[in-house]
Every structure is written in C-alpha cells, then in structure tokens.
Amino acid sequence: MKVVLGSCLAFTMLAGSWLQLNAQSDRWQQRVKYTMDVAMDAPANKFTGKQHLEYFNNSPDTLKKVFYHLYWNAFQPGSMMDVRSRELGKIVIGKDKNGNNRLDWDNRVRDRISKLKPDEIGYQKIISLKRDGKPQSFKVVETILEVPLDKPILPNSKAVFDMEFEAQVPVQIRRSGRHNAEGVDFSMAQWYPKMCEYDYEGWHATPYIAREFYGVWGDYDVKITIDKKYILGGTGYLQNPNLIGYGYETPGAKVTRPAGNTLTWHFIAPNVHDFMWAADPNYKHITQKVDGFTAHFLYLENENTRETWPRLAKMIPAAYDYIKAHYGAYPYQQYSFIQGGDGGMEYPMSTLILGNGKMDGLYGVAIHEWMHSWYQGMLATNESLYPWMDEGFTTFGQDNTIHNTVDSLKGQNPHEDSYAGYFALARSPFEEPATTHSDHYNTNYGYSLTAYSKGAVFLEQLGYVIGAANRDAGLLRYYNEWRFKHPNANDFIRVMEKESGIELDWYKQYFINSTKHIDYGIDSIYSNGNKTTVRLRRIGQFPMPIDFMVTDKKGNQVMHYIPLSIMYGEKPNEQPAVKRIVEPVWYWTNPTYEVEIDLPLSEIKELEIDPSQRLADVDRRNNKAVS
C-alpha cells in the first residue's frame, strides 16, 4: 500500500473528492462514506465491528427501505450457494479423457459447504442498527439484510446508519475465508455488511449464490485491530505506517509500535466500491515503483515464490506501460498483489491470487486480476447483469498485455484461446444469451465460456467490424467518458458508434442478446470469360460485413470489402498496402451475395472469406477455395 502519513489524510480525501467530481455524469449515482472499526480475535476466527455509514440518496426517488449484503451467511450448510452448487454438480457436461462423466461443478465449492461444522461456517450477525440515532427493525434473508425504515430517505438527502455486528470467518471455500489451500491465514473479502446498490434500475439486492458483485461508490476509513504478529495488505492507504512497520514505514524512519499484543492498522480508501484485506504472520512484503504509484506484493516465501514473486514485481512496470497506453491510466496511489483466496479475485486497489504456481501462470493471473481494476474497479459495470463486459473485456486486455510483454509470445494470436472457447460453447447445448443474469445460467460451463471467452471475442470481432484502430481508440474513450460511472452495454455501444461512425445496435442484438451464430461460405464460382463471379452464402442466422480476399497466381491480392446494410458506414482500410474495393452493401435479409472479380478463373490462386480470422465463423471449412 502507498505509505501515507496521518498528516496526509486531508490531501488523500481531497484526492477522493477530485475523483468524485470528475465522475459526474447525467446519470445520478448514490454515494456512501464508511467509517469502520473492527477488533479481530484471530485464534477464534471471529471479530466484532462498528460501522458508521453516511448514505447519500442522490436519486430522484424516495427510499422506504434499504438493503445490505451479508455475504458470509452463504457459507452455511443448506444455503443457496450450497444447494445451487450441489444441484449444478449433477449435470453432465461431457466426458474426460478417460471416458468418465464431467460434472458441472464449481470445483472450488462442490459440496464443501454442506460439510462445514459450526466452528467452520461463516456468518455476519447484526447486533444493532440505528438510522439517525433511532433503532431500526430489520430482517435477515440469508445473505441479504432488509431494513424497512421508520421514515423514508427523501431525494437528494442523507441518512446516517450506525451498526454493531459480529462475524465468524468461514473456512476458505470461495474467495474469502481462513486457512486457504496455500496456507494463508485470512482472506478478508466480503467481510462487512455492505450497502446494496440502488441505481436507475432500482435496488440490486442480489443474493450471494456464486458470482459477481456490484457496489456503491464511496470513501472508506477502516481501522483493524489484530495480533501484532500479523502483516496486512489490501485496499487503501495506510495512515500510521511508522507505528506498523513490516515494510510500510517511511524510508529511514524508526518504527515505534505501541505497547500490548495488538496493532491497529488504519486505512483510508477514496472513491472505491469495496474494501478487502488479507492477513498472515508470515507474509513477505516487497514493493515496486511504477509510473505514478507503488505496487505491493505480499506472499508466503518458499523455494518457488522466492524466485517468482520478485520476478513478477519486476515485470509490472512494462505491463503497465502497455495497459496505460491502450486502456487508460491507473488513478490510485497503490495496488496490492496478495497471495490468498481461491484462484484470483479482484478488489479495488488489490487482488487475491494463488501464488505457488509457475511463473507464466502467476504472471497471467496477476495481469488478469489487475486488468479488472479497469473494467471492474473503475468502470464497474453491474457484473451480475453484464459479466461479459467485465470478465470478457478483462480477458481481452489481459491477453493483449501478456502477448505484448512476454517475448516468447510476441507475434502469436493473443485471442486464439478465447475463440476456441467460444466455438466450444457454440457447439454445445449449454449456450445461453449473454444477457442472462450471471447467477441464473443453467450451467457453470455456459456462464464461464460466455463471460470470459465470448466476451473477449466480442471485442476482438468488434475490431473486425469497425476497424481495430477505431476499437482501440474507442476503448480509451470509453475509459475517459465512463470511469466511476457504472456504464451499461448501451453506453459502451454508443461510445463505439461515436468513435467509428458506424451503427452497432445490430451487433449487440445478435451477439449478446441472442445465441445466433455466424457461418459464411463460398457457395459457387462461375467463369465469365475474362471475369469470375463468386457467390457467397450466409449459412448461419447472424449477418456480418465480409472481408473477401482474392489472390492471383502472381501473388497479388485484392480485398473485396462488403459492408452490411444496417451498419450505415464502412470501416477504414486496415491494410493500405493491399488494394481494397468497397462493394455495395449486403442486405441482411439476403442469404446470398455475388462478387464479380476482374480476373479469369484460370488466374485466381485463392479465394478466402475473413483472412484475418477475427470473424467468429463457427465453420471455417467453407471459407476458402484454392485452385
């Protein structure tokens, strides 16, 4: 974490105000300000907490109730997460290499919750809740706290909630918890009662079943009291580094810890929508200066990590150079890569990742989770409704970053795996529209390939539709116009339409709102003396513009570009060295289209639909004809 002395608190909060000011848009947003003080009983795996929450109702609506998330209540036998995992685990999604049934488990959860003992479960219990000093009634519906208010919160007004709560840290199963598989003591994600988001679509009191999160922008002031032996990392800026030490102290300063067996770690985090921390007495803490901020690395040192984690730290500046140029600048003063959790999970200013893997795997998961700082941390779409905009865009950015910073991967197709995943999904019976709520997919298989693979293909193929340069410029424009504003799918499409001058509502309708597939082929070839006519056929139900390359026997090439009628525009020529002929539009209602080539058939060497292979054509076998 960025070392920030207590005297710098005012400056840091001003930074938060600057971020908030620059986040204003025509779309109103709620705002929160948390002040929390928690006391951790590490041997008992429990803690107590006090939460002071200022809630700003910036909406035009009168709120008669509010909702909080109580995530850890999911880690109890019979919970919705438990039942859902066990039910999906009965579904056969294929065969393994030995011919055995592959079941649709989330392998991190499986049936583990059902086997938890009372001292292993997680819970968050509300001891008291007051609104503006008056006690409020409330009802717990597993992972949701429903609070009918004694008086409404009026539009453009503030309410203050004071809460006392206690919690038991669950055995680590999904994202958060204690004593994970790699030996980390505490991965403290989703650890506090968190106000649900209320936006232009209403309340998002989403039960914790499996997937993603959606939070209210705000400022956090958090104090964590814990045994002195623990080293912490996570979201925010440490305010008392010279009382803490452990590598956070000001260079050259003397660390003076208070008497007693505990330390109180004081963090602030401006303009974020969540707060995560992790703790272990054996964390190794190293730092790396990056352009404009400090990267922190906390890991358990062993023969493997002693080599890989310092290498990871040295790789981050080059990765950031690429990320900043293509996706925008990182606006906070610190980011923490922390060993913990159950694989990889992103949080504001921080991530939890497993750390004992090989170097390429560690770098891959670190860059993926860090890229979430853009599409989940700063742009922060509602992941439950638009997981493809978070996981898919993150996968796209991760793959580009890795393939442009690892020498052995340069020149290779960074999106080959995403296309392969999407094609597997399209061939399966498990594909559902990408508009499906992330918790309501019928299978984990369908969710994963839609959110990650199809979401990444959406962006790479968008470059095929509007031109990669327009797509890349649009991604920076999207970041600049929509960071800190919770954009939705239409907001993204409008940015790309403005950047390219091409209508794109059809692209979202077909690729996101439906499960129709792209399949084009060369139908027939006719010789007309000195000319050749080629009939192309749309076999699938998904219309697209077409790049059709003609190569003659001397090696000369001509690109016949066929715009789709409902684009109302055309992409720029992406290969200026290759002659391009812009053909009349192909009407989406027409199954066939004829291209006339100014060559006799005897002089044509090869005909190919989509030579760049960015078109997500589910059957490429009929895309090429060779003489």
- Taking the C-alpha atoms of residue 242 and residue 247, their distance in angstroms, rounded to an integer, is 9
- At 523 the three-state DSSP class reads strand
Q: What pLDDT does residue 627 have?
A: 83
Q: What pLDDT does residue 569 have?
A: 97
- At 13 the three-state DSSP class reads helix
Number of other residues whose CB lies within 10 A of the CB of residue 621: 7
Token output for 188: 């403290």
Cβ–Cβ under 8 Å, residues 272 and 349: yes
309 closest CA partner among 403, 182, 180, 452: 182
- Taking the C-alpha atoms of residue 571 and residue 465, their distance in angstroms, rounded to an integer, is 7
Tell me which residue has tokens 């941390």: 377
DSSP letter string over 204-249? E----SSS------EEEEEEEEEETT-EEEESSEES-HHHH-TT-S
- Taking the C-alpha atoms of residue 269 and residue 231, their distance in angstroms, rounded to an integer, is 19
Task: For residue 36, list its beta bridge partners.
Answer: 51, 222
pLDDT band for position 528 (cuts 50, 70, 90): confident
pLDDT band for position 1 (cuts 50, 70, 90): very low
Q: What pLDDT does residue 454 have?
A: 98
- pLDDT at residue 26 greater than cutoff 90: no
- Taking the C-alpha atoms of residue 578 and residue 528, their distance in angstroms, rounded to an integer, is 25
Ramachandran area for residue 312 (φ above 0: left; ψ -120 to 50: alpha; else beta): alpha
- Taking the C-alpha atoms of residue 53 and residue 158, their distance in angstroms, rounded to an integer, is 10
Mean pLDDT of 143-164: 98
Pick the more confident residue, 23 or 452.
Answer: 452
Q: What pLDDT does residue 15 have?
A: 42
- Taking the C-alpha atoms of residue 376 and residue 411, their distance in angstroms, rounded to an integer, is 28
589 class by beta-carbon count within 10 Å (0-12 exposed, 13-18 middle, 19+ buried): exposed
210 closest CA partner among 455, 453, 438: 438
- Exposed e or buried b per residue across 209-241, where buried means at least 16 C-beta atoms within 10 angstroms of its C-beta: bbbbbbbbbbbbbbbbbbeeebbbbbbbbbbbb
CA 620, distance to chain mean position in Å, is: 30
- Sheet containing 546-552, strands listed edge to edge, beginning at the edge strand earlier in sequence: 579-582, 557-562, 546-552, 604-609, 624-626
Alpha-carbon distances of 41 from 47, 52, 76, 82, 536, rounded to whole Å = 5, 21, 21, 27, 70
Number of other residues whose CB lies within 10 A of the CB of residue 37: 16
DSSP 394: H
- Taking the C-alpha atoms of residue 553 and residue 450, their distance in angstroms, rounded to an integer, is 41
- pLDDT at residue 3 greater than cutoff 70: no
Q: Indicate the pairing of strand 157-168 with strand 144-153.
A: unpaired
DSSP 544: -
- Taking the C-alpha atoms of residue 337 and residue 298, their distance in angstroms, rounded to an integer, is 6
7 class by beta-carbon count within 10 Å (0-12 exposed, 13-18 middle, 19+ buried): exposed
Helices and strands counted in the chain (H then E): 13, 33
Token output for 296: 């922190």
Cβ–Cβ under 8 Å, residues 423 and 416: no
Cβ–Cβ under 8 Å, residues 391 and 381: no
70 closest CA partner among 139, 148, 153: 139
DSSP 22: T
- Taking the C-alpha atoms of residue 337 and residue 234, their distance in angstroms, rounded to an integer, is 8
Describe the crossing of helices 393-403 and 359-372 by its angle, rounded to 10 degrees: 130
pLDDT band for position 19 (cuts 50, 70, 90): very low
Describe the crossing of helices 455-466 and 489-500 by its angle, rounded to 10 degrees: 20
pLDDT in tens, 333-359: 999 999 999 999 999 999 999 999 999
- At 514 the three-state DSSP class reads coil
Average model confidence (pLDDT) for the chain? 95
Q: What pLDDT does residue 18 have?
A: 40
Number of other residues whose CB lies within 10 A of the CB of residue 440: 11
Number of other residues whose CB lies within 10 A of the CB of residue 108: 16
Q: Indicate the pairing of strand 531-538 with strand 520-528.
A: antiparallel
- pLDDT at residue 6 greater than cutoff 80: no
Cβ–Cβ under 8 Å, residues 524 and 591: no
Tell me which residue has tokens 């400022």: 219
pLDDT band for position 14 (cuts 50, 70, 90): very low
pLDDT more than 70, % of the chain: 96
Mean pLDDT of 407-417: 97
pLDDT in tens, 225-272: 999 999 999 999 999 999 999 999 999 999 999 999 999 999 999 999
- pLDDT at residue 8 greater than cutoff 70: no
- pLDDT at residue 103 greater than cutoff 60: yes
Instruction: Give me the phi and psi of 101, to 5 degrees please.
Output: -65, 135
- Taking the C-alpha atoms of residue 460 and residue 399, their distance in angstroms, rounded to an integer, is 11
Instruction: Give me the phi and psi of 258, to 5 degrees please.
Output: -70, 160
| Secondary structure percentages of the chain, helix, strand, coil, to 5 | 30, 35, 40
What long-range pairs does 553-559 form, CB within 8 A, spacing at least 24?
553/603, 553/604, 553/605, 553/627, 555/605, 558/597
Mean pLDDT of 419-431: 98
Mean pLDDT of 413-428: 98
